[in-house]
A and B are shown apart, each in its own frame.
Chain A
Amino acid sequence: GQSLEQPSEVTAVEGAIVQINCTYQTSGFYGLSWYQQHDGGAPTFLSYNALDGLEETGRFSSFLSRSDSYGYLLLQELQMKDSASYFCAVRDHNAGKSTFGDGTTLTVKP
Chain B
Amino acid sequence: QVQLEESGGGLVKPGGSLRLSCGASGFTFSEYYMTWIRQAPGKGLEWVSYVSTSGTSTNYADSVKGRFTISRDNAKNSLYLEMDSLRAEDTAVYYCVRTMVVLTATLPSYYFDYWGQGTLVTVSS
A and B associate: no
| Interface residues of B, Cβ cutoff 8 Å to A | none
